[in-house]
Amino acid sequence: MQMDKVENILNEFYEQYDEEGRLDKDKAHNIEFITTTNYIEKYLKPGDKIIEIGAATGRYSLYYAKKGYEVEAVDLVDKNLEILKSKIKEGMTIKATQANALDLHMFEDNTFDITLCLGPLYHLFSDNDKLKAINEAIRITKPGGKIFFAYITNEAVILNYGLRKGNLLKLEKMCDDKFKVPDIPEEIFSVRYIKDFDKLMDNCKNIKKLNELATDGISATVAGDYVNALNDEKYKVWVKYHLANCEREDLMGYSSHILYIAEKK
C-alpha cells in the first residue's frame, strides 16, 4: 500500500481518536507513562538532547521540555501535531516538525543522546518499513546514546478488542489458526509477538539491547477495571509491583505495549 494512503488512514483515525487523553484517562492507562518515564530516567543525563519520533500530542516531549531539556518532536499526523504545537510555551526548548519516521533526513547522523520511538512501529506494516524506521532512529542517535522502541503485542488486540469489547467472532475470522492478528493498514495497528520483534532487532548490528519490558502489563488488558477501582494507597502498591516485575519474560506477553531499549555502539 502506498505510504500516502496509510497517512490518509492515520489522519482519519486520529481525527476521531482521543490521543491527547490516552495516557491520562485512568489509573490503568497511566501506568504506561509511569513505566516509560521511569526507564527513560534510568539513562537520561543533565544536558542530554532528546528527540521523540511519533510524538503524537507531545505527552513525553512536553514533559521533558518542561524539565529544561532540549527536545525535537516529530509527528506525521496533522491533528496531533497541531495539538502539540498549541501546548508549547515561551521558554521551552522544543521544536515540533512534521515528518515521516521512515525518512528523517532533516536530522544529521549522531545528533541525539536519547531517541524515543514510541509510536511509529504501531503503524508500520512490513518488516522492511519497520527496519527503515528503526535504522533512521539509530542513525540520528549518538554513539553511546539510548534508543527506546515501543510496539504493540498481539494479545493486546485479542484481549481488548476481542474479549473486552466482544469481538471474538470477528477476530476468529480475521486471524490465522493461532489467532495471529493480521498486519494490514485498514486495521490501523500493527502488532508483534515478542520473539518476532526480537528477531527483527537482531538485524541491527550497531546496537546493544539493554532492556525489554512490559510498559503496562495486565493493567490495561486483563485487570483494567480492578486497577481503576484501587484507592491511591493501593494503586501505589500495584505500580510498585509492576515496576519490580515488568522485565519478567513470563509476564510480558499479555501487556498491551512492550518497550525495547538499546544503546548505539
> Yes or no: is domain 3-264 CATH 3.40.50.150?
yes
CA distances from 172 to 164, 179, 182, 188 (A): 15, 7, 11, 18
pLDDT digits (tens, 9 = 90+) for 195-214: 999 999 999 999 999 999 99
Give the residue with greater pLDDT, 6 vs 205.
205
Rounded distance between C-alpha atoms, residue 215 and residue 212, angstroms: 9
Give residue 14's pLDDT: 80
Record the cell numbers describing residue 103, joined without a space.
525518512
Average pLDDT of the segment spanning 18-35: 90
pTM: 0.94
**E strand spans, 154-223:** 191-192, 207-214
Among residues 252, 166, 174, the alpha carbon closest in space to that of 215 is found at: 252
Q: When comparing pLDDT for 147 and 17, which is higher? A: 147
Q: What is the pLDDT of residue 183?
A: 86
Task: Indicate the range of 14-28, 162-176, 186-200 predicted with least confidence.
Answer: 14-28
Reported as a single tens digit per residue, the pLDDT across 49-89 is: 999 999 999 999 999 999 999 999 999 999 999 999 999 99
Q: Which residue has the cell 504501531?
A: 122
Inform me whether the pLDDT recorded for 2 exceeds 60: no
Residue 10: predicted pLDDT: 80
Single out the residue of 50, 61, 60 nearest to residue 114, CA to CA. Answer: 50
User: How does the average pLDDT of the chain come out, rounded?
Assistant: 93
Query: What are the grid coordinates assigned to 80, written together?
Result: 496531533
- Alpha helical stretches, state H, 44-98: 59-66, 78-86
Angle, helices 194-201 vs 127-139, to 10°: value is 50
Domain residue extents for the chain: 3-264
* Residue 226 confidence (pLDDT) above 70: yes
For residue 72, give the 3-state DSSP assignment: strand
Q: Would you say residue 127 has pLDDT above 70?
A: yes
Q: Report whether pLDDT(24) > 90.
A: no
